[in-house]
Amino acid sequence: MTALDYPYRFDGKGRTASTSDEEHVRDLIEQVLFTAPGERVNRPTFGSGLMQLVFAPASEELATATQFLVHGSLQQWLADVIQVEDVAIEIDDAKLTATVVYRLLRTQERRTERFERARA
């Protein structure tokens, strides 16, 4: 099965680009991670709020709280497609990196993905 690619774009033939199921799940995780609650009009609670925490003072407590927040958001929004096994958040000067270890429920394949965003 194929799904729409994220971010939305056109393929070489001028049609809507599609992607594999595995890449679509990765795209969904990225959307949950980097969407701020309140950003989507019809789903005001969608997202993790991860980017809002980037500017908070760094501490061990904040890192732990952020990992729980992200883990909970992924479970809330994607529990029907993945089982989240681990989340690690790293904030380094101008870059935020989230590493997510998860299992695809359909195939039971275990995957590890890294997502990065530069601080604005």
62-71: pLDDT as tens digits: 778 888 889 9
More confident residue, 9 or 88: 88
Please tell me the distance from the alpha carbon of residue 22 to that of residue 72, in angstroms, as a whole number: 21
Pick the CATH number of 3-118 from 3.10.450.40, 3.30.70.3000, 3.40.50.150, 3.40.140.80: 3.10.450.40
Which has the closest alpha carbon to 50: 39, 64, 34, 38?
Answer: 34
Cα distances (Å, whole numbers) of residue 47 to 75, 79, 98: 11, 14, 14
Q: What is the mean pLDDT of the chain?
A: 87
Residues 92-109: what's their mean pLDDT? 89
- Asked whether the predicted pLDDT for residue 91 surpasses 70, the reply is yes
d(CA 56, CA 112): 26
User: Does the pLDDT at position 117 exceed 80?
Assistant: yes
Beta strand ranges found along the chain (DSSP E)? 3-4, 18-19, 82-92, 95-104, 110-118
Per-residue b or e along 22-53, where b marks 16 or more CB atoms closer than 10 Å to that residue's CB: eebbbebbbbbbbbeeeeeeeeeebbbbbbeb
Backbone torsion region of residue 28, taken as left when φ is above 0, otherwise alpha when ψ lies between -120 and 50, otherwise beta: alpha
Confidence of residue 31 (pLDDT cuts 50, 70, 90): very high
Model confidence at 72, pLDDT cuts 50, 70, 90, reads very high
Element (H, E) at 60: helix 60-78
Where is average pLDDT lowest: 38-47, 84-93, 96-105? 84-93
